[in-house]
Amino acid sequence: MAPLRYHITTLSFQSSFLNPVPHPKAGLILHCTLPSVGPPEGIQTPSTKQPTSSPMLRFSRCLGFSPIRAYHSTHHTASNVIVNAKTPEAILLSKAIEHVPTLGFSRASIDAAVQDLGYLDSIQSVVTASSTHSPEYSLVLFWLKLQRQKLYDEVLNPKLDFHAVKDEYDRVLYLINKRLLYNEPIIGLLSEALAQLVVPYNWGTSLEELHNLSDDVAFYAGDMSNDSAWYAKRLLFSSIYVKSELYMLQDSSDNFKRTRQYVDSSVASVKAAGASYNAVEQWTFFNAISLVNLIKSQLARG
C-alpha cells in the first residue's frame, strides 16, 4: 500500500478527491494523497462531529488530528465534559444555581453559595478572575452550560425513548423540546436571564453558547451534512430554539402545550426546506444579530 503523503497550508480543506471545503472555525488547506482506496462516503468538514465508524474519523486518525470538539469526542467518553464540576468556579456557581429560584440570577445567589460552602467572601474572585463578564452574567452562562451538559448526559442513557427515534428531524424535535423542558423550574426568571444575554458586550459569548447548543442538537440528531447545509441547519435550529423560548415566556397552556406545537411546526418547516439550505448560508451573520434584536424587542414588551 502506498504511504500517506500530506502537507498543510492555510484557509480551507482539500484533498485529491474533494472540492475545497472551508473550515468553519479556523481552517487550513489540507492537500492529501490517500492510498488507492477511492473516495470515502459521507466525508465531512474537519469540525463536523462524526460517529466512531465514519470515514472522516479514520481519515483524521491517519493525519494525526481530530475534527471533533474535545467535549464531543467519540473516542474518550471522559473528555465529553461541558462543565468541569471540580473547578473552584464550578463548585461555587453550582451551589449558587440552587439559590436562583428564590434569589434570581444575581450576586445574592453567589453570596448565599459562599455562605453555604463556608468560604471566605474573597472566593468570589474566582468568578471575576476567570471572566471579563459580570458575576450575574457568569451565573447565567454557567446555567446554560449546565443544561447542555444535562442534555448530553441524557442522550447517553440507552434506555431513553430518544434512541428509538430514527428520523433526524424527529430527533431534533425531541431534543429541542427536552431542552425547553429544563427551563420550567426557572421560567419566572427566564426573562432576567435573557436580558443578561443580550447586553451588547455579552453578545459574542451568548451567540457562541447558542451555536454550541444548536451544534449539539444537530450532532445528537445524526446530522451528516458536509456543505453549506452544515451551517444552515445550525442557524435554523438556533432560530427555532430562541423563538420557542420566547414563545414559552408567553405560554400559559398546560405543560406548555402550545410551545411544543410551535416547535413541531417550526422543525417541520426546516425539514421541508430541503435545497433552500444554500441560500440560508448567505445571511447567517445577519440573522444571528437579528435573533439578539428579537430577544431585546420581546423583553421590552414584557
Domain end among 147, 176, 202: 147
pTM above 0.85, yes or no: no
| 192 and 291 belong to one structural domain | yes
- Which residues is 8 bridged to in the sheet? 30
Beta bridge partners of 18: 15
In a domain, 159, yes or no: no
Question: Which of the listed residues 62, 79, 96 is the one where a domain comes to its end?
Answer: 79
Q: What angle do helix axes 228-250 and 203-221 make, rounded to 10 degrees?
A: 110
Q: Is residue 260 a contact partner of residue 215, using CB atoms and an 8 Å limit?
A: no
* 203 and 254 assigned to the same domain: yes
Does residue 157 lie within any of the structural domains? no
Mean pLDDT of 45-68: 38
Angle between helices 168-181 and 203-221 (to 10 degrees): 130
- Give the domain extent around 100: 81-147
Please check whether residues 175 and 258 belong to one and the same domain. Answer: yes
Contact call for residues 14 and 30 (beta carbons, < 8 A): yes
Q: Is 156 within a domain?
A: no
Average pLDDT over residues 143-159: 94
Q: Of the candidates 92, 98, 56, which has an alpha carbon nearest to the alpha carbon of residue 74?
A: 56
Is residue 223 within 8 A of residue 248, CB to CB? The reply is no
Query: Is 282 a member of any domain?
Result: yes
| Same structural domain, 171 and 205 | yes
One domain, residues 68 and 116: no
pLDDT above 70 as % of the chain: 62
Cα–Cα distance measured from residue 186 to residue 193, given in angstroms and rounded to the nearest whole number: 10
* Same domain flag for 73 and 169: no
Whether residues 221 and 267 fall in one domain: yes
Whether residue 60 has pLDDT greater than 50: no
Residue 160 lies in a domain: no
Indicate the residue among 27, 48, 79 that finishes a domain: 79
| 185 and 110 within one domain | no
pLDDT in tens, 218-252: 999 999 887 778 888 888 899 899 999 999 999 99
pLDDT winner (highest mean) among 93-102, 192-201, 269-278: 93-102
Structural domain includes residue 154: no
Would you tell me how many other CB atoms lie within 10 Å of the CB of residue 7? 9
**13-15 vs 18-21, strand pairing mode:** antiparallel
Say whether 8 sits in a helix, a strand or coil. Answer: strand
Answer yes or no: is 153 within a domain. Answer: no
Q: Which of 231, 240, 225, 302 has its CA nearest to residue 270?
A: 240
231 SS3 class: helix
Rounded CA-CA distance 175/218 in Å is 9
pLDDT band at 130 (very low <50, low <70, confident <90, very high): low
**At 231, which amino acid appears?**
Y
Residue 105's identity, in one-letter code, is F
My answer on whether 25 and 51 are in the same domain is yes
278 with 175, same domain?
A: yes
The verdict on 17 and 126 lying in the same domain is no
What pLDDT sits at residue 233?
Answer: 86
> Does 87 lie in the same domain as 72?
no
In a domain, 158, yes or no: no
Q: Domains in the chain: how many in total?
A: 3
